[in-house]
């Protein structure tokens, strides 16, 4: 007699052109990991609460306009991602109830103008990703997140520094660039612009890659001599730490000052192609990449 197969605990339905959650998904009650990213889904079915064993739920790059409150009925759910949706509201009910257990919440790239006071119920939260929204302030209830280690608030509309962050004893990483109280409006300095003809490739040797860009080994012509350089090509205009423009401005500002020991020299920028704007740095010989793009497989600590 053939042995029956174990019920699945993981399901990946990324980029399947789905407009709704397939009916069979909620029957897979042993699921621990579900990825519905890259579809055209705008809501969850009423019986989604049957997934009582679900721990990780990715639903990025969809069409959700509000955070689905049904998720507060999943007691084991601790990692949730709704990056790059159309979310403008989160109701007070979203984080209420005895089963809310979220440790990691990714809401980057939405249209949120405010957070509900019930966000304070997320007492076990460690990572809170809110960059590229429209937030003007944080509710005082955020001070209840005593375990919070990282919060990304770059490229929002915060009017002042959110003082509630000073009340979080374990907070070690804060991204606040590109808000109303600190946004850089400078123009790119002409004196640091590098003509594209001075850059030549070296068989597209990739030195490293991160969420915001790819670094390649190239050559830069300086006074008729070819020098090894590292060129960072930005992938897109926004990333989890704010806009690429802000990163470029901050880097170029340091390049205009006196050289500091331990700080990588930046020669300037190339922007002849708007889709391939880049920064040109000195090349470190005998160096190696310390990491790659973030992933659950490469970084088990994310679990």
**Among 24-28, 159-163, 164-168, 277-281, the least confident range:** 277-281
15-29, 140-154, 187-201, 233-247: segment of lowest average pLDDT: 233-247
Rounded to a whole number of angstroms, the distance between the first and last alpha carbons of the chain is 38
pLDDT of residue 295: 60
**Which of 23-37, 228-242, 287-301 is least confident?**
287-301
As a whole number of angstroms, the distance between CA 186 and CA 10 comes to 47
Mean pLDDT, residues 269-293 taken together: 75
Query: Which residue ranges form the domains of the chain, and what is each CATH number?
Result: 1-180 (3.80.10.10), 190-282 (3.30.200.20)
Tokens for 142, please give them.
């955020």
Decide if pLDDT at 159 tops 70.
Answer: yes
Q: Residue 294: is its pLDDT beyond 60?
A: no
Reduced to 3 states (helix: H, G, I; strand: E, B; else coil), residue 46 is helix
Q: Which residue has the higher pLDDT, 40 or 261?
A: 40
Signed CA dihedral, 297, 298, 302, 303: sign only: positive
45-93 residue pLDDT tens: 999 999 999 999 999 999 999 999 999 999 999 999 999 999 999 999 9
Give phi and psi for 224, each to the nearest 5. 80, 0
Which pLDDT belongs to residue 1?
44
Q: Which of 72-81, 196-205, 277-286 has the lowest mean pLDDT?
A: 196-205
DSSP secondary structure of 73-122: G-TT--EEE-TTS---B--GGGG-STT---SEEE--SS------GGGGG-
d(CA 171, CA 182): 20
pLDDT at res. 187: 81
Which residue do the tokens 């009916």 mark?
A: 23
Please report which confidence band the pLDDT of residue 302 belongs to, taking 50, 70 and 90 as the band edges.
Answer: very low
Residue 102: count of CB within 10 angstroms of its CB: 23
pLDDT value at residue 290: 61
- pLDDT for res 161: 95
Q: Closest by alpha carbon to 91, among 122, 65, 69?
A: 69
**pTM assigned to the model:** 0.81
* The 10-12 sheet, strands edge to edge: 10-12, 33-35, 56-58, 79-81, 104-106, 127-129, 150-152, 173-175
276 pLDDT above the threshold of 80: no
**Mean of the per-residue pLDDT values of the chain:** 88
pLDDT in tens, 117-131: 999 999 999 999 999
């Amino acid at each position: 007699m053939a042995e029956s197969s174990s019920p699945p605990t993981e399901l990946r339905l990324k980029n399947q052109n789905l407009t709704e959650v397939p009916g069979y998904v909620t029957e897979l009650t042993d699921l621990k990991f579900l990825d519905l990213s890259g579809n055209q889904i705008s809501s969850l079915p009423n019986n989604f609460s049957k997934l009582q064993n679900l721990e990780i739920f990715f639903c990025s790059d969809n069409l959700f306009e509000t955070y689905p409150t049904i998720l507060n009925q999943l007691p084991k759910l601790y990692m949730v991602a709704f990056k790059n949706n159309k979310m403008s509201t989160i109701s007070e009910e979203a984080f209420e109830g005895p089963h809310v257990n979220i440790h990691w919440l990714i809401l980057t790239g939405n249209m949120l103008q405010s957070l509900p006071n019930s966000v304070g119920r997320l007492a076990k939260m460690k990572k809170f990703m809110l960059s590229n929204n429209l937030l003007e302030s944080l509710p005082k209830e955020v001070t209840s997140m005593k375990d919070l280690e990282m919060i990304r608030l770059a490229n929002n509309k915060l009017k002042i520094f959110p003082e509630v962050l000073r009340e979080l004893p374990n907070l070690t990483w804060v991204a606040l660039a590109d808000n109303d109280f600190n946004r850089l409006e400078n123009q790119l300095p002409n004196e640091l612009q590098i003509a594209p003809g001075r850059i030549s490739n070296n068989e597209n040797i990739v030195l490293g890659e991160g969420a915001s860009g790819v670094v390649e080994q190239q050559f830069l012509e300086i006074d008729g001599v070819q020098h090894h350089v590292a060129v960072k090509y930005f992938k897109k205009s926004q990333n989890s730490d704010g806009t690429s423009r802000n990163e470029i401005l901050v880097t170029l500002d340091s390049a205009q000052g006196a050289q500091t020991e331990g700080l990588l020299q930046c020669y300037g920028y190339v922007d002849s192609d708007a889709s391939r704007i880049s920064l040109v740095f000195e090349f470190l010989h005998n160096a190696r990449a310390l990491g790659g793009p973030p992933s659950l497989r490469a970084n088990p600590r994310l679990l």
